[in-house]
Amino acid sequence: MAPLFSAVLVLLLVRHSAADVSDMDYGGVPLWINRFLGEPSVLSLQGRMDPAWFRANNPQACPLQCECPIQWPTALYCDHRGLADIPDGLPDRTQYLFLQRNNISSLSSSVLANVTKLHWLILDHNQLQSAKLDQAALQNQTKLYYLFANHNYLSSVPSTLPSGLRQLRLAHNQISSISSGAFEKLLNLTLLLLQGNRLQTITEGDLKGLLSLNMLDLSGNNFLTVPRHLPASIEQLYLSNNSLSGLDRDSFVSLLNLKYLRLSHCGLQSSSVPQQVFNISSLVELDLSYNKLITIPTVPTTLQYMYLEANEIQGTRGRTMKAGVGLFSALALFLLMGAVFTQRNKPKKPTRRPATTRKPSVPKPAVPAQPEPQEPTDFPPPILGPPSIYPDCPRECLCSPSYPNSLNCENRNIRVIPVIPSRTHYLYLQNNYISEVTAEAFVNATEVRWINFANNRIHRIDKKVFDKIPSLLYLYVHRNQLKEVPAGLPASLEQLRLSKNRITKIPAGAFNKMENLTLLDLYHNQLSDSDLGRNTFRDLKSLMQLNLAHNILKKMPDGVPNGLIQLFLDRNRIDDIPKDYFKGFTHLAFVRLNYNQLSDKGVPKAVFNISSLLDLQLAHNQLASLPLFNGNLEHLHLNHNNIESINGTLICPFDLHASLHEDSLVPKLRYLRLDGNHLSPPIPLDIIMCFRHLHSIVI
């Protein structure tokens, strides 16, 4: 079994300066230390302990060039000293010998003659040369199980390695060959690092004998094809940074245990990657990032991690790839690093949507959209339309005979609204320079149902305007300069868009009697708590969508109608949600509170336990733990909070230990974002056990 994954192992944590982090490289694979075996848990004493103190207090013999800490009597630290040779007179008690970062170029057999119990020999960052290596030097080290010589000048893998070796790390040398039979007796070797060398091929005998090999890193060599003759025991095979000309259909077929395969930066093109080559039933992780793939190859249902950033995959295929069904196979985890935005696995659209309101069938404006007006010093003159068959058609507008009820006056540099013909139902005035809306233009416009005033510079709407148009259903005034919600709005309104204005005030009774209003958009204004009274939304019995995002609210708005389906409150300053806030909401499906100041304190544990909720977004807050949620929730965004750990057993809506036969009880969560927290893979098993429909996690 690979000691790498053994449960008792304790990860070494050494970090006291940036320089040391790179010193502790060890071939890029952390060293796992078993303290129960007496293994020393520091890899260098440099900068952390006063050597004079040991010398004064340790009665045991210690070579002058080394340190012998009393807490690890079998460890000898001779690292970071510019030593040209291994010191003489090493005590025979030595089991852990640290010689990294010296100038050692040779290894003779005599120097280790008195040391027969060596377990670790660490020679990283020296100047070892193959020619100066005594072939017999390590022959009798029957207890040696770690030999590290990363970052040296070796040109071949040393022969006559001791047969008890478990790890051999030779990354970043100049190795171009493996002497035949070098590994013949290394039956216990589990980890072999050869990345950053000059290997071109591996011949049949090269790796013969490595019956336990688990991890083989051949990244950054000169391979043109995936080497053959690799041991069948390999679970982790790293081949990144080789210029592979392509893959063969059977490149990996002999690797029956392969779980982790890395092929990033290999110049792979879809045309030279057989579609089935990665359909390896044991595969768990596949890294194909930084290649030139244009399609996603077939992957097995067991796959949990797939890296595809920085390829040339077009369209939405990345999102349509499905993992199979079943307990563990349901998880396709895309680890999305870097800023390759187009590659992001976007959340799927919710399966259920709020019912849309009846929408008058409105013809599309015939005039192609023009660039929005900039900030001119002088307004350009209005653009006049073609002559019309309608004598009442304003010169600035287009009156199409096919759509007699539409008046298209958008994108015309209009400053003053022309008189609206009485037959008009649909009025388009967006993208102009209108600053004020007065009643004169609307004297005969009694039939208007829909007005679009978006993107003008309107700062005032005379309330007499609305007296003229009692049947108005949709009013769009987003992207203007209103300082308050217009007074006198008709009670008939169904949609009201006022986003991106400068609204700081809602007049009393502004939304009174609007029993049919389904959408109210106040996004991106300057509303504070005091602007929203208890009764502001009182009459809005049909309201389905309320957007108050990007204002300056500190509290949840009061008196929100409880038939609501969508509530958006992102980008406010909300730090507290009353315990019973959502009580009585029977249709609420989408709640967004991203970018607020919510911490665990302000979020009562079960406040989001709302059975109708499908999509809950709490990203960019200060939550340290996951709130409880209902089993019906499908999408949960918790990215960029302060979450350090997750306990799947605790948040699982059902008892994990009870056997669950009823599929309807299985939580419906499909998409979970946890990136930007203090979490790292792997995903705890209880999360996977509980949320069996989970499709992707971003972590």
Ligand X SMILES: *[C@@H]1O[C@H](CO)[C@@H](O)[C@H](O)[C@H]1NC(C)=O
Q: Which listed range, 49-57, 88-96, 317-325, 431-439, lies at the site for ligand X (CB under 6 A)?
A: 88-96
Toward ligand X, which CB reaches closer, 170 or 454?
170
Q: Give dist(CA 520, CA 544) in Å, integer.
A: 8
Question: Could you give the string, one character per residue 276-305, with x where binding to ligand X holds by CB under 6 A and - elsewhere?
Answer: x--x-x----------------x-x-----
Options 233, 282, 492, 504; binder of ligand X; rule CB under 6 A: 492
Structure tokens at 667: 């939580």
Given a contact cutoff of 8 angstroms between Cβ atoms, the answer to whether 292 and 262 are in contact is: no
Verify binding: residue 159, ligand X, rule CB under 6 A. Answer: no
List the structure tokens of 195: 């990345």
**If binding is defined by CB under 6 A, does position 109 make contact with ligand X?**
yes
Q: How far is the CB of 526 from ligand X (least distance, A)?
A: 29
* 650 is an interface residue for ligand X by CB under 6 A: yes
> Judged by CB, which is closer to ligand X: 107, or 672?
107
Exactly one of 131, 211, 606, 665 binds ligand X (CB under 6 A); that residue is 606
Distance CA 6, CA 13 (A): 17
Stretch that binds ligand X, among 226-234, 423-431, 460-468, 644-652 (CB under 6 A): 644-652
Of 103-111, 367-375, 554-562, 636-644, the segment contacting ligand X by CB under 6 A is 103-111
Q: Which of residues 25-64 bind ligand X (CB under 6 A)?
A: none
Rounded CA gap, 450 and 472, in Å?
6
Residue placing its CB nearer to ligand X in the complex, 243 or 535: 243
For ligand X, the closer of residues 539 and 576 by Cβ is 539
β-partners of residue 157 are 178
Of 42 and 128, which CB lies nearer to ligand X in the complex structure? Answer: 128
Q: Does 512 bind ligand X (CB under 6 A)?
A: no
220: contact with ligand X by CB under 6 A: yes
User: What is the distance of C-alpha 204 from the center of its chain?
Assistant: 41
**At CB < 8 A and 24+ separation, what contacts does 441-448 make?**
441/416, 441/417, 442/468, 442/469, 443/419, 443/468, 444/419, 444/420, 445/420, 445/421, 445/469, 446/422, 446/470, 446/471, 447/405, 447/422, 447/423, 447/471, 448/420, 448/424, 448/472
d(CA 445, CA 85): 98
Query: Taking contact as CB under 6 A, which single stretch among the options 29-37, 153-161, 369-377, 509-517 is the one that binds ligand X?
Result: 509-517
Is 111 an interacting residue with respect to ligand X (CB under 6 A)?
yes
Q: How far is CA 616 from the centre of its chain?
A: 17
Q: Which of 59, 82, 386, 391 binds ligand X (CB under 6 A)?
A: 82
Residue 438 contacts ligand X per CB under 6 A: no
Judged by CB under 6 A, the residue of 114, 180, 254, 271 near ligand X is: 114
The answer to whether residue 422 forms part of the interface with ligand X (CB under 6 A) is yes
Interaction of residue 515 with ligand X, rule CB under 6 A: yes
Q: Are 574 and 595 in contact (CB under 8 A)?
A: no
Q: According to CB under 6 A, which one of 105, 174, 413, 516 is a site residue for ligand X?
A: 516
Stretch that binds ligand X, among 85-93, 309-317, 661-669, 674-682 (CB under 6 A): 85-93
Q: In the complex, which residue's CB is closest to ligand X?
A: 82
Angle 18-170-88 from CA coordinates, rounded to 5°: 85
Q: Which residues pair with 567 in a beta bridge?
A: 546, 591
3-class SS letters over 616-656: EECCCCECCCCCCCCCCCCEEECCCCCCCCCCHHHHCCCCC
Residue 211 is a binding residue for ligand X (CB under 6 A): no
275-282: long-range contacts at Cβ-Cβ below 8 A with a sequence spacing of 24 or more?
A: 276/249, 277/247, 277/248, 277/249, 277/251, 277/252, 278/252, 280/252, 280/255, 282/235, 282/256, 282/257, 282/258
For the bound state, the minimum distance from the C-beta of residue 124 to ligand X, rounded and expressed in Å, comes to 14
**Among 427-435, 481-489, 614-622, 642-650, which window interacts with ligand X (CB under 6 A)?**
642-650
Q: How far apart are CA 494 and CA 692, in angstroms?
A: 40
Q: Does 88 bind ligand X (CB under 6 A)?
A: yes
As a whole number of angstroms, the distance between CA 362 and CA 451 comes to: 11
Interaction between residue 326 and ligand X (CB under 6 A)? no
Rule CB under 6 A: is residue 219 a binding residue for ligand X? yes
Q: Does 240 bind ligand X (CB under 6 A)?
A: yes
Residues binding ligand X: what is the number (CB under 6 A)?
Answer: 45
Distance CA 205, CA 195 (A): 20
* DSSP line for 169-201: E--SS---EE-TTTTTT-TT--EEE--SS----
Name residue 323's amino acid. Answer: A
Residue 224 interacts with ligand X (CB under 6 A): yes or no: no
**What secondary structure letter does DSSP report for 418?**
P
d(CA 505, CA 525): 10
113 binds ligand X (CB under 6 A): yes
> Residue numbers of the site for ligand X (CB under 6 A)?
82, 88-90, 103, 109-111, 113-114, 136, 139-140, 163-164, 187-188, 195, 219-220, 240-241, 265, 276, 279, 281, 298, 300, 419, 422, 443-444, 491-492, 513, 515-516, 606, 609, 611, 628, 630, 647, 649-650
